[in-house]
Homo-oligomer: A and B are copies of this chain.
Amino acid sequence: MKPQKSASKALKAPPNAGRRGSEKEPRGSLHRSVAQDIGARILNGEFAPGTLLPNEAEWCKSFGVSRTAVREAIKMLMGKGLIISRPRIGSRVLPRAEWNLLDRDVLGWYVAAAKQSHFLAHMQQVREILEPETAALAAANHTPEQLLAIEAAYEAMAAAKTLAAWNEADVKFHFAILQAAGNELLVPLGLVIESALGSMFTYTARQKGDVGRTLPGHQRILTAIRARRPNAARAAVRKLLGDTSRIVGEVMRAGRKSRSAGA
């Protein structure tokens, strides 16, 4: 009768194990850890769509936590469209079409689970669809303040000495364009893409030392937007993406040989 402090078979999440962001987010909460674990295992294929998950009692045992924590974790996963749970039945993994794949967490689990090359290709495809049009919209619709933000980000890129600084400025540059497009729906889309791409991106274009090489490409985009020339902006982004795409392809080919991917 002391399952309280007893064996936590899994869940070796120390009070604050996360290192993302500053340190504000309560990454140490139990229900979050549980949701994280279950969600990752679903995206991972361990629990395929249609599968009936273990019932709450079993989760309690395997995690060594109370039913409350398990239920709250399950509610989060329900909110992401991963599972549905009903009395007497249990929790069932929903078909993939129901998943909110564009949810930050879900996409994160997906990235972690999916074959990198496969995912990277699809992501790049989406970028090639969205970003040129985003830039074109920004060229057509930007306000003076928004243009200032884009210019500031560009200056920061040009002045960046370290890789980290350059990456930060680059993200700001894209985000500023996104906002200048003036479409509220594009913003979260772009955020998701950027965030999912983020870490992976660091290992492709950025590492190859061609940081400086893409600067002119960015400048062309800025110039086109400033001149309110949507077609030029679209073309400039396409060109820049073409470069990135080629580099990604090289990295993928290189990575396929030395398959020791990891941290």
Residues of chain B contacted by A186 (CB below 8 angstroms): 122, 125-126
Hey, which bits of chain A sit against chain B, CB under 8 A?
25-26, 31, 35, 68, 71-73, 75-81, 84, 86, 97, 99-105, 122-123, 125-126, 129-130, 133, 137, 183-189, 191-192
Residues of chain B contacted by A31 (CB below 8 angstroms): 75
Given contacts A84-B25, A86-B26, A133-B129, contact A184 B101 (CB under 8 A): yes
Residues of chain B contacted by A126 (CB below 8 angstroms): 183, 185-186, 189
Q: A122 to B183, Cβ gap below 8 A?
A: yes
Q: Mostly helix, strand, loop or mixed at chain A's interface?
A: helix
- Per assembly, the copies of the chain total 2
13 extra interface residue pairs, beta carbon distance < 8 Å, beyond A79-B103, A122-B186: A35-B79, A68-B68, A75-B79, A76-B76, A97-B187, A100-B102, A100-B188, A102-B189, A122-B183, A122-B184, A122-B185, A123-B185, A125-B137
Q: How far is the CA of A71 from the CA of B80 in the complex (A)?
A: 17
Q: How far is the CA of A26 from the CA of B74 in the complex (A)?
A: 15
Q: Which residue of B lies closest to A188 (CB)?
A: B101
Q: A101 to B185, Cβ gap below 8 A?
A: yes
Task: Jot down 19 A-B pairs with beta carbons below 8 A, ordered by A.
Answer: A26-B86, A72-B75, A75-B76, A76-B79, A79-B79, A80-B80, A97-B188, A100-B102, A101-B187, A101-B188, A102-B188, A102-B192, A122-B186, A125-B137, A125-B185, A126-B189, A129-B129, A130-B130, A189-B189
